A and B are shown apart, each in its own frame.
Chain A
C-alpha cells in the first residue's frame, strides 16, 4: 500500500515558487487500480514522481509498503525504485541506442539477477505486450504505440508491486489506447497496484478508483464525490 500524509512539494527557482502539491493525504491499498485526472500543470506528474521516489518532498510523510521513505538514503531509494516500482513515463524514455531486449533489461541488471532469469523475464514481458518477435529492434524502428508497449514491458519485467503510469495512452489512438488499458487491467488482476495518470475520462472511469488533482490539491472522487462536484462546479 501507499500512504501519504500532508505531503507538499514546492519547486523553487530563482524567480518563483511553484506549489506543485499541497498537503496531500492519500491512501492507496494494495491491488487497487487508481486513475488520476486533472488539468495540465495541476501536479499529476509531480505526484507520480513523488510516489515513484524520483523526487523528494519538503513536508509530510510517505509510507511505501509500510516503510517511511522520508530520510532514506539515496541508495535505499534506488533499491526501492528498482525492486518495488515500475514506471511508465509520459514520454516513453526508452534508451534509443539499445535494442528492445536491452531496454527491458536495464532495471533487471541493477537488481543483479542471473542472466537466465533476466532472459526469461524479458521474453515474458515482451511477449505479454505483443513484441516478442522484435527483441532485436531499436526503439526508433517501432511505432509510438509499440514504443509505449516496450516501456510497459520494461516497467513490469521486474514484477514490481507498484506500477506508476504517466499518460500511458497519451500518444496513442483510441484503439491502441484501449489495448494498452486492457493490458494494464490484466497486470492489475495479477496483483500489481496501478496508479495511472490520464486525460481520457473513459479510461479514467474504467479504473477502480479515480483521484483528481487541481492546482496541487488532491480530491478523491470516489471517497468524496460531493466535494469533487463542488470544486468542479
Chain B
C-alpha cells in the first residue's frame, strides 16, 4: 500500500511540472531566505568567550560631574579613568583576576623591509587578559606578569602571523612595531568573537591583530584609539589625548579604558560593594560628585542587552513573514493542483480506496515536495550567505577581512537539518486544507463529468 501510494505521489509530482516547480520555487525561496537571515542573526548573537562568559564582568562607574546627563543603561556609561583602573587593579578586590584594555593601532614591519609595513588594529592590556578571556594560542602564550611593566613583547593574531611570518612558529622572533623592535611571545589561533566586547568596541568581525602590554603602549605613545568621556573642563583637550598630553590624561577625569574583573562563583554583589567603598573613599578627594551609579555586568548579561537591542531579530521576523507569504502562495498552488485531481480521487474512492489511502498518497507527495524544497532552500541559503559575505565586505569598504567575516555567514549543519524538518512540516501544514478538501468531497462527486 505504502509503495503504491509512494509511486502515485511520485507520478503526480511529475504530472503538472509547471505547478510543481512553482510550488518548489515558493517554498524553497521562502525557506532559503529564512535560513539565510536566521543563520546570520544566530551567528551574530552567539555569546563570546564560552564558559567564561558568565564569570567575566565589565566594571563601570559613573565618575562624571554633577551637571552631566542622567544615564539609564550600562551601555551609555563612560569608560574607566586611568586612575581608577590602576587603583582597582592594585586594590585587594574580591576578584580572581582583573585587567584593563585600551584600543590602539600601529605599524608592523621588519628591519630588512622584506614585508611591506602594515598598519593594523591592536589592543594594549595586561598579562591577566589572556588568562581571563582565554584566546586560543597556536604558539607560545601571553606575556609574563613581569612584562606588564612595559616589556617590548607582542602577541600576534593568526592573520598577522600568517602575513608577517608565513604562519610559522614565530615565538622569539623580532619585528618592528612603529619602527621599534618587539619580540613575539605568542601567536593566537583564529579567534572568532561574535561581538568584540573586551575593549568595549562592540565590533563584529574586526579582531585585533596584536596585543602589547599597556605600559609598553603608554611608554611608546601608541595611539589611544578610543573615545574619551571627559568632564566639561577637559573636553576641549580630549582630542589631543589620542597621542599627546599623556600625563594630563592620566590625571584627568576622562574615562577611556575598559576594566574587567573575573569573579569567583559569578558573584558581583560582593565586588560591587567593595567598588562602592572605593568610590566613597575617592569622594574625599572631590571625585565622584554624583550619586553612586555602578554596573558590574558579565558578558552573558551584556549580550542579552545587545541581542535585544542591536540583534537581527527584525530581519529574521521579516524573513519569517516572507516565508509565510510564500507558504500561503504554495497553498493556493497546491489547491489548484489537487482540485484538478478531484475526479481521479472520486474514481479511486468509488473503486474502494479508503480516505486514509487518499490522505497517504497526497501526504507522501507533499512530504517529497517538502524534502526537495529543503534541498533547494538550503542551496539558496548557501548562495544567499555567500552574497551577504560580499555585501558585508563591500559595506566595510573592504576594511573587513574575508576570514573574519565568514563565521557570521557560516551555515550550521544542525540548522540545515532543522531546515529539512521545518520544510517538511510546513509542507504538511499547508497541505492540510487541500487534502481535507480532496477527502471530504462526496465519493460520487466527480464521476458524472466527462
Contact = CB atoms under 8 A, between A and B. Distances in A.
Interface of A: 45, 49, 52, 54-55, 74-75, 78-79, 81-83, 87, 89-91, 93, 95, 97, 106-107, 109-112, 154
A90 B353 contact: no
Interface string B14-29: 0100000000000000
The range of chain B's interface size is 20 to 34
B448 A90 contact: yes
B348 A106 contact: yes
Nearest to B444: A54
Given A90-B448, A91-B448, A75 B355 contact: yes
Task: Name the prevailing secondary structure of the A interface residues.
Answer: helix
B396 interface: no
Contact of A110 (B15, B352, B442): B352
Interface of B: 1, 4, 11, 15, 343-344, 346-357, 442-444, 447-450
A78 B355 contact: yes
A54 B447 contact: yes
Given A87-B351, A107-B352, A95 B344 contact: yes
B352 A81 contact: yes
Nearest to A53: B443
A58 to B, nearest CB: 14
A110 B2 CA distance: 11
A82 B352 contact: yes
A108 to B, nearest CB: 9
Nearest to B449: A91
20 contacts: A49-B447, A52-B350, A54-B350, A55-B443, A78-B353, A78-B354, A78-B355, A79-B352, A79-B354, A82-B353, A91-B447, A91-B448, A95-B344, A97-B11, A97-B15, A106-B347, A106-B353, A107-B351, A110-B354, A111-B352
A55 B447 CA distance: 11
A65 B11 CA distance: 37
Contact of A74 (B343, B346, B354, B447): B354
Given A78-B349, A90-B448, A111-B352, 16 more contacts: A49-B444, A54-B447, A78-B354, A79-B354, A82-B351, A87-B351, A91-B448, A91-B450, A93-B346, A93-B347, A93-B350, A93-B447, A106-B347, A107-B351, A110-B354, A110-B357
